[in-house]
Amino acid sequence: VIHGDLATRNVLLTSTLDVKVTDFGLARQLNNYSMYVKTQDTPLPWRWLALESHRDMVFTSKSDVWSYGITLWEIFTLAEIPYAGATNCCQVVEDLEEGYRMRRPKYSTVSM
């Protein structure tokens, strides 16, 4: 299953500190395929998308790993907005293609 919308807004923490991933509205079952190509024109969470998802509308387990990394960044920045200075997805794509990466969060360690 590809979730397609991993972000802190879709993660719940129970009273026993169990983590629950929610909102499977963009999720897709892959079955015999390793990727999903989006063809519908629906809004996407562009601040959390991997570069290949931005460019080609391709979603894989690897693009979910990218979103997971952005989600961890959100957690360790204490809920800062990813790419806060960007006003649209085209700007994020251009920055990523030029090698830009967000700074390491203050509350993370180098080994993370």
In the chain, where the domains are located: 8-97
**pLDDT value at residue 111:** 86
So which residues are the catalytic ones?
5
Handedness of CA 93, 26, 56, 42 (dihedral sign): negative
Please state, as a whole number, how many other Cβ atoms lie within 10 Å of the Cβ of residue 55.
Answer: 12
pLDDT per residue of the chain (112 residues) written in tens, 0 to 9? 889 899 999 999 999 999 999 998 888 887 767 777 777 777 889 999 999 999 988 889 999 999 999 999 999 999 999 999 999 999 999 999 999 999 999 999 888 7
The SS3 assignment for 49 reads coil
Contacts of 79 (CB under 8 A, 6+ apart): 8
- According to the CATH classification, is domain 8-97 in 1.10.260.40? no
Whole-structure pTM over 0.75, yes or no?
Answer: yes
**Helix-then-strand count for the chain, H and E:** 3, 4
**pLDDT value at residue 36:** 73
